[in-house]
Chains A and B, each alone.
Chain A
Amino acid sequence: MTALPTCRELISFLHEYVAGELPPPQAALFEAHLARCPSCAAYLASYRRTVELEKEAFGAEPEEPPRELLDAVLAIRRR
């Protein structure tokens, strides 16, 4: 890819871009597109925010498990 990507192409490869897996020349073309396309810039920001929100929604520390579950697991071994 040597020309600026279209919106379709950019969003198709957005996963690779966010993961830092695009080759530098391609990433540079993506960034040039983002600099002049408010729609794709907004899409990228909301895509990244979506992933952050997923982690926030499920980011709880492991809880102390119920006593009866621990007892049930230990009883498995004694069978």
Chain B
Amino acid sequence: MPASAPRSVHAPAPPPVPPTAPDADAALLARLRAGDDAAYGELVRGQTPVLLRLARRLLRDEAEAREAVQDAFVAVFRNLAGFRGQARLSTWIYRIAVNACLARLRVRAAQPEVDVDALLPRFLPDGHAAEPSVPWRPDAALERSEVCARVRECIDRLPETYRTVVMLRDIEELTTEEAAAALGISPGAVKVRLHRARQALRALLDPWMREERA
């Protein structure tokens, strides 16, 4: 069972990187280490689409995303000789790209962000919800492109630390442990941050998504 909600039938999420058979990995790696130009071309053309999509999602800036992809390949080429096959080649490259994006996020100037605490549900002393939740409108009542635009806008308003966890766990579908390793925090912290982020996002969407009261 996936760690997050079941995948939507409208947009099945592809795996973070295209899987490559271990034999194919070993063959490509041998060619790369032998300095085969065609092998480098294959590697770059094969990996860049997924890495660029990742960088666009995390950085939200086309120029920065392209630079992060180049940063990642600089690290890949520099460390290729030391790669011991402890993971799939594509997985290793993907992790390098995640780190390249996070490094850029860490030096970025602060952006206007919502206060997540203010968006979490409140409760009465007896544990009941202070404001009962209302069902959301069925999908058929909403224009899909408008919904997607609204969701992206709300995600952009989350604090960077929460937005990154949402991107890595819910969108890129890293496991909790993979996201924790990438972010340098504990798996428990990833779970807490993800849950708060989802709650905050839900709260941002709620006024627009809820059914009209009679």
**A interface vs B, CB < 8 Å?**
6-9, 11, 14-16, 18-20, 38-40, 42-43, 45-66, 69-70, 72-74, 76-77
- CB pair A6–B53 under 8 Å, yes or no, is no
Contact A48 B5, CB 8 Å, known A43-B129, A57-B152, A73-B48: yes
**B interface vs A, CB < 8 Å?**
1-8, 10-14, 40-41, 44-45, 48-50, 52-53, 57, 66, 69-70, 73-74, 77, 121, 123, 126-129, 132-136, 144, 147-149, 151-152, 155, 166-167, 170-171, 191, 194-195, 198-199, 201-202, 205-206, 209
State the main secondary structure of chain B at its contact with A.
helix
- CB pair A53–B49 under 8 Å, yes or no, is no
Which residue of the partner chain, among A51, A63, A77, contacts B5 with CB atoms under 8 Å? A51
- CB pair B123–A20 under 8 Å, yes or no, is no
Could you list 5 further interchain pairs (A-B, Cβ under 8 angstroms) beyond the known A48-B5, A69-B48? A18-B5, A59-B8, A60-B11, A65-B52, A70-B45
Which residue of the partner chain, among B69, B171, B191, contacts A55 with CB atoms under 8 Å? B171
- CB pair A59–B74 under 8 Å, yes or no, is no
Residues of chain A within 8 A (CB-CB) of B40 are 74, 77
